[in-house]
C-alpha cells in the first residue's frame, strides 16, 4: 500500500515542462563574417560572368574581320650596273621639227655670208700697260687694244705688219717696235660690236734705234708715255713710270 505524503510527487513522473531550454543565439561577429563571405562569393561570380560575356562578344566581332595576310618580303634591291657612259642606252625621242631645223640650217649655211664692211671711225685703238710703275728689274708689258663701238661687225687688218708700239719721254723717242721687228704679217679679223681684241708686247727696257743695235742702253728712271697704232689709227698716250 502506497503511502501518500502531502505535497509529494511520484517518482518517475514527467518533467518535460521543466527540461526545455530556448535555442542558443549566434553572436553578431559570426553573422558579420557570414555576410562578408556571401558578398565575396557573389562578387567573384559577377566577375566571372562579365569576363565570359566580354570574351563571347570579342569572338563574335573578330569572326567577321579577315585574318591579316603576312606581308611578302620585298626583294633586296640589286646593285645598278655601273657604266662609264650612263646614257649609253638612252634613245632620245624624235623631234618632229628636227628635219625642218636641219634643212633650214643647211640652207642657211649654203647661202653666202653677207660681206662685212671695213672698220671706220667706230673702231677705237687704246694703249695701256700691265702696271703703272715698274722697278728697275721689271719689264713693262705694252698692250694694244681694239674695240668696236659700232652696232655692226666690221673687218680690219690686225696683223703685226700694222701694229706699232712707241715709248717716249718728253720729246725723246726711247723705243719703237719697228726698229727690232724680226718679221711681220697681215691678218684680217672681224670685230663684233662691243668686242675687244688685245695684243701684248714685252719691252726689255732698252733703248731702240734703226737697225736694232745690240748695245742699246737701258732707259733711265722717269716718266714715260706709250702710244700704239694700227695702220693709220693711233691711241691716246698711256703714262707709266720706270723707277
Domain definitions of the chain by residue range:
123-242
Can you give the pLDDT at residue 171? 95
CATH of 123-242, one of 2.60.40.10, 3.30.930.10, 3.40.50.2000, 3.40.50.9100: 2.60.40.10
Can you give the pLDDT at residue 52? 62
Q: What is the DSSP string of 152-207?
A: S-EEEE-STTTEEEEEEETTEEEEETTTS-------EEEE-TT-EEEEEEE--SB-
- How far apart, in whole angstroms, are the C-alpha atoms of residue 151 and residue 154? 9
Can you give the pLDDT at residue 34? 73
pLDDT along the chain (243 residues), means of 10: 44 48 62 71 62 56 51 45 40 39 43 79 97 95 97 96 97 95 91 96 95 90 98 97 97
Amino acid at each position: 500500500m502506497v503511502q501518500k505524503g502531502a505535497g509529494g510527487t511520484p517518482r518517475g513522473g514527467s518533467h518535460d515542462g521543466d527540461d526545455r531550454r530556448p535555442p542558443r543565439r549566434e553572436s553578431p561577429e559570426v553573422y558579420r563574417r557570414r555576410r562578408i563571405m556571401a558578398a565575396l562569393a557573389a562578387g567573384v561570380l559577377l566577375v566571372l560572368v562579365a569576363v565570359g560575356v566580354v570574351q563571347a562578344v570579342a569572338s563574335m566581332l573578330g569572326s567577321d574581320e579577315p585574318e591579316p595576310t603576312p606581308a611578302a618580303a620585298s626583294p633586296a634591291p640589286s646593285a645598278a650596273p655601273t657604266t662609264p657612259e650612263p646614257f649609253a642606252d638612252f634613245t632620245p625621242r624624235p623631234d618632229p621639227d628636227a628635219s625642218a631645223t636641219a634643212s633650214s640650217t643647211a640652207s642657211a649655211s649654203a647661202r653666202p655670208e653677207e660681206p662685212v664692211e671695213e672698220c671706220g671711225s667706230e673702231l677705237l685703238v687704246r694703249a695701256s700697260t700691265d702696271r703703272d710703275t715698274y722697278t728697275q728689274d721689271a719689264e713693262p708689258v705694252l698692250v694694244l687694244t681694239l674695240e668696236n663701238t659700232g652696232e655692226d661687225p666690221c673687218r680690219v687688218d690686225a696683223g703685226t705688219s700694222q701694229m706699232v708700239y712707241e715709248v717716249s719721254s718728253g720729246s725723246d723717242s726711247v723705243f719703237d717696235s719697228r726698229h727690232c721687228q724680226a718679221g711681220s704679217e697681215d691678218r684680217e679679223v672681224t670685230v663684233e660690236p662691243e668686242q675687244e681684241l688685245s695684243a701684248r708686247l714685252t719691252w726689255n727696257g732698252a733703248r731702240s734705234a734703226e737697225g736694232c743695235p745690240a748695245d742699246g742702253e737701258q732707259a733711265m728712271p722717269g716718266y714715260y708715255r706709250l702710244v700704239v697704232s694700227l695702220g693709220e689709227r693711233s691711241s691716246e698716250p698711256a703714262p707709266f713710270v720706270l723707277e
